[in-house]
């Protein structure tokens, strides 16, 4: 297979990854149902960032890097409507000459064709999958009052043959290594939100801002060959893998906000494990456990304010080997900002 063909062909081996990032006086993922407080496990105090939040950042980076061109459009994107976007894509697909010339005897052909063309267009569907709803899927349209009414003339009747696409890229919630401390700061704004007739001389207004003084979070993920290949697969390719790696390496570029000032969230470690087979050469939990991040002995999480209070260990020993004693799993560290680390090689475990 040529290099160009390999780039566009679906991935051929399982890939696992571990992402470690730090939070310094920022709110990594506020809970809108809890006054935007940083998400925390109520029982353990462990902080977490949802997988949806991490995928949002990946989508944003892909949009910045590829500018929605050449098969890197984004379906779940700010300022758009999911149903409209997917309906427009289905319309375009069904108007293609190749679609109209499909064998009418092959009942699966329209669905397979639509799935392939939609996956080719949207990177996030190709990576994460999606439930493809369109206005005509239910046979009814929503009324202004929130109910539903039968479709009439002039209503868009374009209907996708594809209901759901399972994506090969799976990402866990990110969890903090130690319990987090949440600071709730009172702030003063120099101008009120609106004029108050009862307080005409009011010139300032109080507000609140929540932050995590310092914490280290770890998330893990995997890319499945089985969900990338074949008629039911998304076609997630080696080229897609490269751009995903670049997006994760630069995850927080362009992500600045009042809650996350520039430089307050940093990718400290990014490790990829590329297996030699479709289903992997060892159980996924064993691969994930090769990366260990912990609070150093004697350090208290409420007092640690930089990376020197944490330790990192990457275990490369006892990797599965082939008959020629070559390691079956390739380990790549794509980002490395850690001041101290421990790498266990094969000789260290002997």
Do 106 and 232 fall within a single domain? no
Q: Give the pLDDT score at 138.
A: 44
Of 106, 131, 166, which residue sits at a domain end?
A: 166
Do 17 and 132 fall within a single domain? no
pLDDT band at 136 (very low <50, low <70, confident <90, very high): very low
Do 36 and 57 fall within a single domain? no
In the chain the first and final C-alpha atoms are separated, in Å, by 39
Q: How far apart are CA 193 and CA 179, in angstroms?
A: 35
Q: Give the pLDDT score at 244.
A: 97
Identify the top-confidence range among 76-80, 157-161, 199-203, 272-276: 272-276
Identify the top-confidence range among 138-147, 199-208, 328-337: 328-337
Do 258 and 130 fall within a single domain? no
Do 213 and 92 fall within a single domain? no
Do 77 and 121 fall within a single domain? yes
Assigned token pair, 188: 């003063």
What does the radius of gyration of the chain's CA atoms come to, in whole angstroms? 24
* 4 within a domain of the structure (yes/no): yes
261-318, pLDDT tens digit by residue? 999 999 999 999 999 999 999 999 999 999 999 999 999 999 999 999 999 999 999 9
* 129 within a domain of the structure (yes/no): yes
Q: How many helices (H) and strands (E) does the chain have?
A: 9, 17
| Selection from 216, 91, 225 nearest residue 166 by Cα | 225
| Selection from 28, 24, 289 nearest residue 175 by Cα | 28
CB 223 within 8 A of CB 14: yes
- The verdict on pTM exceeding 0.95 is no
Q: How far apart are CA 44 and CA 42, in angstroms?
A: 6
Pair type for strands 129-131 and 183-189: unpaired
Do 23 and 89 fall within a single domain? no
Do 117 and 33 fall within a single domain? no
Q: Considering the chain, what is the average pLDDT of its residues?
A: 88
Of 135, 166, 197, which residue sits at a domain end?
A: 166
* 322 within a domain of the structure (yes/no): yes
Which distant-in-sequence residues (6+ apart) come within 8 Å of 195 by Cβ? none
Q: Give the pLDDT score at 340.
A: 63
* 191 within a domain of the structure (yes/no): no
* 196 within a domain of the structure (yes/no): no
Do 214 and 325 fall within a single domain? yes
Residue 91: give the domain boundaries. Answer: 52-143+158-166
Distances 200 to 187, 190, 193 between C-alpha atoms, Å: 21, 15, 13
CB 272 within 8 A of CB 15: yes
Do 42 and 60 fall within a single domain? no
* 198 within a domain of the structure (yes/no): no
13-60, pLDDT tens digit by residue? 999 999 999 999 999 999 999 999 999 999 999 999 999 999 999 999
Q: Give the pLDDT score at 140.
A: 44
Assigned token pair, 202: 């009011």
Do 334 and 213 fall within a single domain? yes
Distances 29 to 18, 44, 109, 156, 178 between C-alpha atoms, Å: 19, 17, 42, 37, 16
Do 23 and 78 fall within a single domain? no
Q: How far apart are CA 266 and CA 275, in angstroms?
A: 27
Q: How far apart are CA 350 and CA 341, in angstroms?
A: 20
Of 166, 199, 223, which residue sits at a domain end?
A: 166
Distances 185 to 32, 136, 213, 219, 323 between C-alpha atoms, Å: 17, 48, 11, 28, 60
Which distant-in-sequence residues (6+ apart) come within 8 Å of 93 by Cβ? 99, 113, 114, 117, 118
């Amino acid at each position: 297979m040529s290099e160009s063909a390999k780039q566009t062909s679906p991935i051929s081996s399982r890939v696992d990854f571990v992402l470690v990032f730090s939070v310094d006086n920022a709110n990594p993922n506020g809970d809108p149902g809890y006054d935007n407080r940083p998400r925390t496990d109520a029982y353990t105090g462990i902080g977490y960032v949802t997988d949806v939040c991490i995928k949002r950042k990946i989508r944003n980076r892909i949009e910045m890097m590829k500018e929605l061109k050449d098969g890197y459009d984004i379906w779940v994107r700010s300022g758009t409507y999911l149903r409209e976007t997917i309906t427009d894509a289905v319309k375009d697909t069904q108007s293609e000459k190749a679609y109209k010339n499909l064998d009418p005897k092959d009942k699966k052909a329209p669905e397979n064709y639509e799935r392939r063309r939609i996956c080719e267009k949207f990177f996030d569907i190709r990576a994460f999958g999606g439930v493809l709803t369109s206005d005509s899927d239910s046979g009814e349209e929503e009324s202004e009052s929130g109910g539903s009414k039968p479709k009439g003339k002039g209503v868009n009747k374009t209907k996708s043959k594809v209901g759901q696409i399972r994506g090969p890229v799976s990402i866990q919630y990110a969890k903090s290594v130690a319990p987090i401390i949440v600071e709730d700061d009172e702030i003063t704004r120099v101008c009120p939100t609106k004029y108050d007739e009862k307080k005409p001389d009011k010139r300032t207004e109080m507000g609140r801002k929540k932050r995590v003084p310092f914490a280290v979070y770890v998330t893990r993920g995997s890319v499945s060959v089985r969900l990338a290949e074949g008629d039911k697969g998304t076609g997630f390719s080696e080229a897609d893998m490269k751009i995903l790696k670049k997006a994760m390496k630069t995850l927080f570029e362009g992500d600045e906000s009042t809650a996350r000032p520039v430089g307050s969230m940093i990718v400290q470690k990014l490790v990829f494990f590329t297996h030699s087979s479709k289903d992997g050469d060892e159980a996924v939990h064993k691969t994930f456990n090769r990366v260990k991040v912990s609070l150093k002995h004697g350090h208290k999480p409420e007092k640690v304010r930089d990376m020197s209070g944490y330790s990192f260990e990457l275990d490369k020993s006892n990797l599965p080997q082939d008959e020629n004693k070559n390691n079956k799993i390739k380990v790549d560290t794509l980002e490395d900002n850690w001041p101290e680390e421990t790498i266990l090689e094969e000789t260290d475990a002997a």
